[in-house]
Amino acid sequence: MAPTTNCSRKKQLNLPLFQRKLKRMCSSIHQSRRVVVTGLGVVSCLGTGMHFVWDQLLSGTSGITNIKGEAFEQIPSKVVGLVRHGNNPGEFNLTGLPTIDGRAVTQMTQYCLRAAEEALTMAKWKPVQDNDKERTGVCIGTGMIPLEEVVNAGELQRQFHYRKISPWFIPRILINMAAAHVSLAYGFKGPNHSVSTACTTGLHSIGDAFRFIRNGDADVIVAGGCESSVTPLAMAGFARMRALSTNFNATPQVSSRPFDKARDGFVMSEGAALLVLEELDHARQRNAHIYAEILGYGLSSDAKHITAPPEDGRGAQRCMEAALRDSHLKPEQIEHINCHATSTPLGDSVESRAIQSLFKNHSSNILVNSTKGATGHLLGAAGSIEAAFTVMSVYTGTVPATLNLQTPMTGCDLNYVLGSNITWNSKFNPRIALTNSFGFGGTNASLCISEYVV
């Protein structure tokens, strides 16, 4: 072995100092690129259009209904959240969307394109210059591919011939196709990114987009999730896992009841929700209206079980801790948490336990809610629609009540928002909230969202 020279020893001794300087420099870069929300688009069972849906949520409306059809007869759960189609206010239609080839687009992608159109219109960002398009990206994911597309194609191949398979079959089922079609529709040439992390997908997409902008990879990104999985096969699969609500088939509007003592499973729902994230100086230069600021993003893994979270809530707790650390915040600065709470017996209690463990005495001061009582569980789009609701809460100063929360579950003493909406009178300036998403496979995400203050 060659002797260590004075020069090499000096380099070794100075390495930690260099690493500290590099860390401070990277932190400075991150802090200089702040990320804000300038547009929101929503398609859900509560309606289509962010402001329409927000009004429905605040009015205590439920979007849950019964599922009908021979294909669903054997499935024990009869409650779902379906997007309403039509030409009336708040209904989904394709009017005004960019021209698309219907052979390559599934209903899920149609929902995504509608949400993108609304979010970009609200943000007033539809660039025509190549430089602007190159600095605009897309981060959109989905939790599940269209299962019936696969089943139908397989039956065609077995019964007939491979030539019966549509050449559009593969493009229709790929996870990244919703992101691809938004990119194609508007000519966005920046990052084109798609994740699929079960029910954490929507929030992971927004969090990843936040980091892309903070790291300088783009100035504007359309981010979120979409889902259209209320189908016989998907519902049968979840029903066999005993994950779906079955006790309220006769009264669907009260079937999704997060944190309630009578909760018995989640309600499958569909839709899309997208946020336009933008670097702050970029938004200021074009006088964009700013709805909120993204402060930080946290991730973790339970590494415990493929579907069940650990009962002590440590995975969720680490995730929220990571978001606070990334935001440079103290726990007592959080005054509202929009929870993942899907209305399952285990999941809701575990998340509540994680909040108590992390925030300790301050947990009783936090306004804790779940908007799934009104929307059901949008799977891959759940995290993004709840991020949109959290943006609206910090923007308007109103926290929606958790619909159908009548008798809070025992064992957790949190300040659940039940009965009526709460006006958020913050002790701090600005108002700051967390929103959580957790998914099968033990994957977790938390996003810290703040009221924007000049």
Q: Which residues are known to be catalytic?
A: 199
Q: How far is CA 375 from the centre of its chain?
A: 13
- Alpha-helical (H) ranges within 328-453 are 345-359, 372-375, 382-396
Tokens in use for 157? Answer: 């191949």
Neighbours of 248 (CB within 10 A): 22
Cα separation of the two ends of the chain: 60
197: CB partners within 8 A, 6+ apart: 141, 143, 204, 439, 441, 443, 445
φ and ψ at residue 307, rounded to 5 degrees = -130, -30
CA atoms of 407 and 259, how far apart (whole Å): 8
CA atoms of 164 and 156, how far apart (whole Å): 6
CA atoms of 445 and 339, how far apart (whole Å): 11
DSSP summary character for residue 362: G
Q: Is the dihedral of CA 42, 45, 48, 50 positive or negative?
A: negative
Q: How large is the C-alpha radius of gyration of the chain?
A: 22
CA atoms of 197 and 214, how far apart (whole Å): 22
Neighbours of 159 (CB within 10 A): 8
Q: Identify whether the C-beta of residue 448 lies closer than 8 Å to the C-beta of residue 432.
A: yes
Angle between helices 147-159 and 232-240 (to 10 degrees): 110
The SS3 of residue 60 is coil
DSSP summary character for residue 217: S
CA atoms of 172 and 170, how far apart (whole Å): 5
DSSP summary character for residue 309: P
